[in-house]
Every structure is written in structure tokens, then in C-alpha cells.
Amino acid sequence: MTLFQEDDVTFIDGSRRMDLTKQPVYFAADYLVSIKLGTSWAKRDSEPVRELLRMRVGAKTLTGDVIHTDIACQVFQQDRGRGSGHSLDNSSLWEIYPGVGSQPAKDEEFIGRVTEIEQLRTVLVSSKKPSPVLLTGMRRVGKTSLLQEFHKSYKQPNGPNAVTVYLSIAEKRSAFMDKNKDVSSTMFSAIVNVLAKRVSVGDKNRDVVAKLQSKLDCDWQSVRVKLQACYDKDSLAESLVYLSEKLLEWLGGASKRIIYLVDEAETLVVPYQAGGTKRTELEQFLQSLREVSQASENIGIVLSGSNHIDVFAREYKNAFFGSCFSLNLKGLDDPVDCSHIIAPHRVKPFVQFDQAAIEYAAQISAGMPLFMWQLGAATAALVRSGRATKTDVRRAVQALVLDDGVTLPFKAYEILEPLEHMLGLRPEPEPDLLWMLLYRVANSTSLVAPEANVGFILDQTLLGVRDKDVWRQHLVALAEIGILEIPKPGEYRFKIPIFAEGFRAVKQWGEFTLRHQRATI
């Protein structure tokens, strides 16, 4: 890209020529470039002397042809404060965007999901015999928030219909691999541990934990001993049935059903990938859950986790998953819900979002609540007062990707964390290989050309590490776990466009180089 000297403009570094890239990639049509105006642009009598600047954009095609295009751009100063008069301060920003953190959404942060909550209520509570539920979806799409919102309605031990027990097995990864512990006993102990512990204010099962200690008239250690005594190593199914019967007896009230909400269930991929004895234990565990769901009307089970569960769900369809009610959680698609997150009503006295800006923020984040909270807050922080446009949202995307700790008044969520967590569940050296492949997909696509042909993705850098057939298999695997999609044979694109933006960040080149070195050792 070249600027004209006669226009009295330069790039920020003082030069008039900038190489956007030397790699064969497509850039988005609204790629952001900062330009410094010279003194001749200063206003005289409240009117700018200049209104236009020119730039020449050149590109070399894959066939070696060079193309140049001259563009004339109109320059004007936008009055951010017009019609508002109020500038958004940081304290107000944090209050207006409570979901900007990485914690599960709750209370006013939880928006939408009415249909999904009702589906869970129908199959787990209202039905005469509850169906087991398999809740899947991309990491950070809102599965934990959904479970905890559902849990709020049934966490009281004296409820009229059912009592829910929430537990996450994310920290059980090493236990599932322990040769001295089988999968079934590890899961049973996880349930016992969330029910028998010190009572704390932030505990998800606080009311049930307190009621058990009160009813049994003993401390939490003694409660744990009583609950663990319900376990029979020869049958997890019978152990869960007996434990649930005792819980209903001790809790009292009118509740006739215990519902176990098991979060971060993608951790079960670990024993599956270990193979051998551990895979056999996993199959026995899933068979036990199936027996429980068939035998008891008093027990509901939810397994919730990222799309990695699908890796073994198809293989164990007869063991458990074939009888499940499957709920694949996607991003929010209701425009009103998305607007409430990106442009909350309370931000309007300060910043007024264009409809196109809201739609673009929802589209690039694929309706994922966490990213919409972050994009809305970042856009408002950059604008502070007045109108927020689609271009401002693009600036916000770049600020989130940059994450320099200065541009934004809050900690930006690491864009690639959901993907890297999912890839980390794969056996070595797949995490590095899949990351490199996603980097190539991102840098072979753009916002205006989101699909890339496999011929462009698999460059010599990748083919020097593995052959073409291996990379093609990895592309299919990335589509199976919901990271990529295949719009037509031989072409791939990100399901969630903001992930591609994360991979295109300049800082990722160093990460690619490091992973490439590890993969070639």
C-alpha cells in the first residue's frame, strides 16, 4: 500500500509505503490502517482545507501478475459526542457489561436460552421417566451457564419436583488416568465430594450440603463417609440408585427425583484415548449410566461437554448415548437477545450502536455470548460517546486480538483459548499439528473470502511435516468437532469467524514457528 506525497499524509511510522503481507493470503476489505495527517489538513475557519486522500493498493497474484488500484478516500471528523453529551467512564462500562469476564453468565448476564431451559425441564423434570441428556457445543458457547441457570430452579433440597446436583469433572483428568482407580469409582467419588464438604457461600450445592449435615447431625467428613459407603465396586448402577434413594430420604421434602448435572464431561475423552483397560472402564461406566436411566424413575443424568464427546459418542451409541436426548448448543440467533448483550439499554445514553454494528458483532462471534459481551464492551470503550459503527466493531476485534493491556480497560479474553483447550484433549502430537492447520486455514481466508480451498491451505510448510492425506484427515477431524465446516467438497472455513481473526494476529506467527519446530523433531 502506497500513499501520495502531495496529499501530505504518512503512515504512523512516517513512511508512505507499507507491506501488508508477503504471504499468499486474502485480507478483509475493511482492513484497518492508521494514517497520520500533515499540517495542511488543519482546520481554517472551522473547515478542513483537505477532504480527500489517495492510496495505491498493489498485489501480486499466485500466477505472478501484479495488480494496482488507486483509491480516493473522503476524510471527515466524526463528532462522537453529538446527540449524547455523555462520555462513558470505566466504572459505568463494567456495570453495563457484567458478562465481560470469563465466568459463566448468571442473573442479569444470562440472556436467552428460553427454549433450551424448557427442553431440559420437560425431559428431566416433567416427564414420568427422565431421559438422560447429552448437552454438547463449542467451548464457551454457554453450556455451563445453561446448566447453572437450570440448577437455580431445583437446587433447594425441599423443592416440590426434583433436586439437582451440579458437579464439574474438569479436575478429574489425572484421576481418570490413574491405574489404581477405575472410571466408575472416580465418578462416584466426584459426586460424593460435591455433596460432602465444608459449607461455603459460593458453593453451587450449598443448600443440599448444609441440609445433609443438619439431617445427619454430623460434620462434612462424617457425611462423606456415609455417602461413600453407598458405593459397591461391583455395580456403579446399583450404587447410584442406592445413593439417590438415601439422598431423597435424608433431604426430605416432596422431591422424588435427583438430577445429576455433570459438567466438563469432555474430560471422559482422556480414558477413551488412552485405550486398553481405561477404554474398557469407560465403556462399563457408560453402560452403567444406561442401566440407571432404564431402571429408575428417580434419577436424571446430564452429561455436558464440548464437541469432543462426539469422538466416542458414536462408538458407544448402544452403551448409553443412543438413549440420550441430545441438545447441541449453538450461539444465540435471536437478534433481540444479541442486541441486549452487545448494546445493552443502559449504554444508550453514552454510545448508540448502529444496527449494522450489532449484526456484525453477532455474526463474527457466531452468537457466542462471551465474545458478544467482550465485543460490545470493547466497542463502547473505544467510542466512549456517540455513534458506534461497524468499523468501530472491527477496531474492537483488533483490540481484543492485540490484548496489549493498555487499549482496553478490562482483561480481554484470549480469543483462541476455547480452541486450544479442545485441541489439548487430543493425543500428542495432534495439538500442534491441528493448531498449525487452523493457522493455515485462517491465513488462507478473510472476512470477504471466508472459505479456503485445500490446495491453498496445505502449503509446503505443512507438507514438509506430514503428507497430504494426513492433513486431509486432520481437516475432517476439525470439522467433526465443530471448529471448521465444509461448505462444499475441498473447501473449509471457521464456524466461528472471530477464531480466524485470532489466528491472523501477528503474534501467532511466532507460535506457529514454535509448534512447527516441535512437530518436526
* Residue 110 exposure: Cα atoms within 13 Å on the Cβ side: 19
Question: How much is the pLDDT for 61?
Answer: 73
Q: Are 269 and 176 in contact (CB under 8 A)?
A: no
Burial level of 70, CB count in 10 A (0-12/13-18/19+)?
Answer: exposed
Q: 29 falls in which pLDDT band (50, 70, 90)?
A: very low
Query: pTM above the 0.85 mark?
Result: no
Is the pLDDT assigned to residue 340 strictly greater than 90? yes
Question: How much is the pLDDT for 43?
Answer: 66
Final residue before a domain boundary, out of 24, 45, 74 = 74
Cα 152 to its chain centre, rounded Å, is 22
Question: How much is the pLDDT for 41?
Answer: 83
Is the pLDDT assigned to residue 158 strictly greater than 90? no
Q: pLDDT exceeding 90 applies to what percent of the chain?
A: 70
* CA 399 – CA 415 distance, rounded (Å): 11
Amino acid at 218: C
Is the pLDDT assigned to residue 356 strictly greater than 90? yes
Least confident of 56-65, 106-115, 357-366, 480-489: 56-65
Least confident of 42-56, 171-185, 277-291, 301-315: 42-56
Question: How much is the pLDDT for 28?
Answer: 46
CATH number, residue 479: 1.10.10
Summary mean pLDDT of the chain: 90
Q: What angle do CA 137, 138, 143 make, to 5 degrees?
A: 55
| Three-class secondary structure of residue 170 per DSSP | helix
Considering the domain boundaries, does residue 227 fall inside one? yes
User: 425 and 277, same structural domain?
Assistant: no
User: 237 and 162, same structural domain?
Assistant: yes
**Which residues, at least 6 apart from 40, have a Cβ–Cβ distance to it below 8 Å?**
8, 49, 50
Per the omega criterion (within 30 degrees of 0), is the bond before 429 cis? Answer: yes
User: 145 and 38, same structural domain?
Assistant: no
Question: How much is the pLDDT for 79?
Answer: 56
Beta-bridge partners for 133: 302, 325
Q: Are 167 and 260 in contact (CB under 8 A)?
A: yes
User: 431 and 379, same structural domain?
Assistant: no
**Domain with 361 in it:** 347-402
Q: Are 487 and 401 in contact (CB under 8 A)?
A: no
Number of domains in the chain: 4
| Three-class secondary structure of residue 229 per DSSP | coil
**pLDDT, mean of residues 292-320:** 86
User: 354 and 216, same structural domain?
Assistant: no
- The better pLDDT of the pair 44, 315 is held by 315
**pLDDT, mean of residues 486-508:** 94
E-strand ranges in 374-475 read 386-388, 452-453
Q: Minimal CA–CA distance to 190: which of 155, 231, 140, 242?
A: 231
* CA 434 – CA 122 distance, rounded (Å): 39
Amino acid at 207: D
User: 324 and 257, same structural domain?
Assistant: yes
Is the pLDDT assigned to residue 62 strictly greater than 80? no
Question: How much is the pLDDT for 60?
Answer: 77
**pLDDT, mean of residues 82-104:** 83
Query: What CA–CA distances, in Å, run from 375 to 100, 127, 138, 297, 455?
Result: 9, 40, 18, 44, 33
Q: 78 falls in which pLDDT band (50, 70, 90)?
A: low
* CA 127 – CA 130 distance, rounded (Å): 6
